[in-house]
């Protein structure tokens, strides 16, 4: 079915007493105001979906024929590819074309390493990828120079904050998954006054049907999902080819023994031993599903699993681009996203999230049980050190 925002009015969500939804504006008090809220971001949503879809096509093209020269290493030893840079340049360009006034983008990459001696060849490859993507789309009659592409990448240097409007982008969330041929996401969100009001997740390798039905690599399963949500308007999923969208909801599972949970593929991003202890306390029987990127938020928003735990090692600082889009996609699908103390995620403090221990995500009925299991497990782990 095609999406007509006039038709979808989200009822006020009841919050459990100890927990809050993702740090969003309160739900509207009447159906008429819900329509206004949903419609007020119509242009922004269209631009965000377009930008993320274009970036996804560029990433798919690179992943199919990835060259060793396409991969570099950043100062923190994490990998970065021509697709990361190309994706950021594309999204930045599209959004600035659509919203030229007071454009602000908080994004992961910058052009510093590309401008170093010996970087010209990779810059030219990125420029060709970006221009080929723009030509194939046909919406913008323009050819970017190499400097134009570098400037588009550097548009992502905003610090964000609690004032004004800021786009938030992870051009490839899950670069290691991207390199393995597994899951990754183009994650784009919009902050208004420090609150997430819109989110889009393009997940090129995520199956259109539930992971529990077909597994991640079923040869007969079509892949490529686009999730999108606007505050007060619910969450929708459609194939990346642009065909009809469907409204999605988080799992309604109430018994933790029947719940399955997601966690990061990379052990550096989540303490798998702590997750295992939490699952044991809850009586969860299914093994964890470990996949990269905010594709986990997308899968959870449509009910593939019921719990997502991200409990990184001490000292790790979460960045807003790793959670902003996923957070609203899950909460608008009826889920709850908090830190390990039950507090909402606060995206108003700049590039980083100040969190207690980690992030926990589930449906509203499971959250009290999950919260208790998380706190007890954290205490046990601390006392055993």
Q: Do 54 and 103 share a domain, yes or no?
A: yes
| Same domain flag for 214 and 328 | no
Residues 237 and 284 in one domain: no
3-state secondary structure of 64: helix
How many CB atoms sit inside 10 A of residue 217's CB? 11
Q: Which two tokens stand for residue 267?
A: 């052990």
What per-residue confidence (pLDDT) applies to 301?
A: 98
Task: Please report, in range form, the residues annotated as the binding site for Mg(2+).
Answer: 108, 170, 172-173, 322
Question: Tokens 């919203």 belong to which residue?
Answer: 99
- Pair 235, 229: CB distance under 8 Å: yes
Pick from 155, 48, 162: nearest CA to 107:
155
CB 245 within 8 A of CB 2: yes
Structure tokens at 101: 């006034």
DSSP H helical ranges for the chain: 31-39, 42-64, 82-98, 120-137, 146-154, 175-180, 211-214, 272-282, 295-301, 324-331, 367-383
Q: Let me know whether 323 and 304 are in one domain.
A: yes
Check the CA dihedral 18-22-23-28 and report its sign. negative
Q: Does the predicted TM-score (pTM) go above 0.75?
A: yes
Structural domain includes residue 26: no
pLDDT, position 18:
42
Considering the domain architecture, whether residues 101 and 124 belong to the same structural domain is answered as yes
In this predicted structure, what is the pLDDT of residue 295?
97
**Where among 193, 225, 247 does a domain terminate?**
247
Domain that holds residue 217: 41-67+75-247
Tell me the backbone φ, ψ of residue 41, rounded to 5 degrees. -115, 25
Q: Residue 53's closest CA among 228, 237, 202?
A: 202
Does residue 241 sit in the same domain as residue 370? no
Binding site residues, as ranges?
A: 108, 170, 172-173, 322
**Domain membership flag for residue 31:** no
pLDDT per residue rounded down to tens, the chain (385 residues): 333 333 233 333 333 334 444 644 444 443 434 444 445 899 999 999 999 999 999 999 999 887 655 777 776 656 789 999 999 999 999 999 999 998 999 999 999 999 999 899 999 999 999 999 999 999 999 999 999 999 999 999 999 999 999 999 999 999 999 999 899 999 999 999 999 999 999 999 999 999 876 555 555 679 999 999 999 999 999 999 988 999 999 999 999 999 998 988 876 556 778 999 999 999 998 888 889 999 999 999 999 999 999 988 888 899 999 999 999 999 999 999 999 999 999 999 999 998 988 999 999 999 999 999 999 999 998 888 7
Cβ atoms of 242 and 268 closer than 8 Å: no
Three-state SS for 306-347 is CEEEECCCCCCCEEHHHCHHHHHHHHCCCEEEEECCCCECCC
Structural tokens at position 158: 């905003």
Q: Are residues 239 and 286 in the same domain?
A: no
Euclidean distance between CA atoms 9 and 302, whole angstroms: 19
215, part of any domain: yes
Total tally of structural domains belonging to the chain: 2
What is the DSSP secondary structure assignment for residue 159, as one 8-state letter?
A: -
Structural domain contains residue 12: no
- Are residues 101 and 221 located together in one domain of the fold? yes
Cα separation, 372 vs 336, in Å, equals 15
d(CA 266, CA 23): 26
Q: 320 near 347, Cβ under 8 Å? A: yes
**Is residue 260 located within the same domain as residue 179?**
no
Q: State residue 172 phi and psi, 5-degree precision.
A: -140, 105
Which CATH number fits the domain that encloses residue 155? 3.30.540.10
Given 247, 275, 292, the domain boundary residue is 247
Does residue 307 lie in a domain region? yes
Tell me the CATH number at 365: 3.40.190.80
- Give the pLDDT score at 269: 56
Domain shared by 60 and 196, yes or no = yes
Same domain, 109 and 238: yes
Query: Coil, strand or helix: which one is 250?
Result: coil
- 10 Å CB burial of residue 142 (0-12, 13-18, 19+) is exposed
Task: Using alpha carbons, list the distances in angstroms from residue 99 to 109, 137, 150, 230.
Answer: 21, 19, 19, 18
- The predicted pLDDT at position 90 comes to 98
pLDDT in the model for residue 265: 82
Same domain for 51 and 158? yes
For residue 211, being part of any structural domain is answered with: yes
Q: Which of 192, 218, 247 is the last residue of a domain?
A: 247
In a domain, residue 34? The reply is no
Task: Name the residues annotated as catalytic.
Answer: 84, 175
Residue 33 lies in a domain: no
């Amino acid at each position: 079915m095609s999406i007509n925002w006039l038709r979808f009015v989200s009822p006020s969500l009841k919050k459990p007493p100890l927990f809050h939804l993702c740090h969003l504006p309160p739900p509207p008090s009447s159906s008429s105001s819900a329509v206004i809220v949903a419609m007020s971001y119509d242009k922004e949503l269209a631009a965000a979906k377009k930008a993320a879809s274009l970036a996804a096509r560029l990433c798919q093209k690179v992943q199919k024929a990835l060259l060793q020269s396409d991969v570099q290493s950043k100062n923190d030893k994490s990998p970065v590819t021509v697709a990361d840079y190309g994706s950021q340049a594309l999204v930045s360009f599209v959004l600035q074309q659509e919203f030229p006034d007071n454009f602000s983008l908080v994004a992961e990459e910058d052009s510093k390493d590309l401008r170093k001696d010996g970087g010209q060849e990779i810059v030219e490859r990125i420029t060709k990828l970006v221009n080929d993507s723009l030509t194939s789309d046909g919406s913008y009659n323009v050819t970017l120079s190499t400097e134009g592409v570098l400037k588009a990448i550097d548009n992502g240097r905003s610090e964000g904050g609690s004032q004004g409007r800021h786009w938030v982008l992870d051009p490839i969330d899950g670069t290691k998954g991207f390199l393995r041929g597994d899951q990754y996401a183009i994650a784009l969100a919009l902050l208004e006054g420090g609150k997430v009001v819109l989110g889009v997740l393009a997940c090129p390798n995520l199956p259109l049907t539930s992971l529990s039905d077909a597994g991640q690599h079923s040869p007969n399963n079509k892949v490529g999902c686009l999730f999108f949500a606007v505050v007060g308007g619910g969450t929708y999923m459609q194939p990346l080819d642009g065909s009809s969208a469907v409204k999605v909801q988080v799992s309604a599972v109430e018994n933790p023994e029947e719940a399955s949970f997601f966690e990061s593929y990379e052990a550096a991003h989540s303490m798998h031993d702590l997750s295992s202890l939490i699952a044991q306390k809850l009586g969860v029987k299914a093994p964890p599903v470990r996949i990269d990127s905010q594709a986990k938020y997308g899968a959870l928003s449509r009910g593939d699993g019921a719990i997502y735990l991200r409990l990184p090692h001490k000292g790790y600082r979460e960045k807003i681009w790793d959670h902003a889009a996923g957070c609203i996609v899950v909460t608008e699908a009826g889920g709850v996203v908090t830190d390990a103390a039950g507090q909402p995620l606060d995206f108003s403090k700049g590039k980083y999230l100040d969190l207690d221990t980690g992030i926990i995500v589930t449906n509203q009925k499971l959250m009290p049980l999950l919260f208790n299991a998380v706190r007890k497990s954290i205490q046990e782990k601390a006392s055993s050190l």
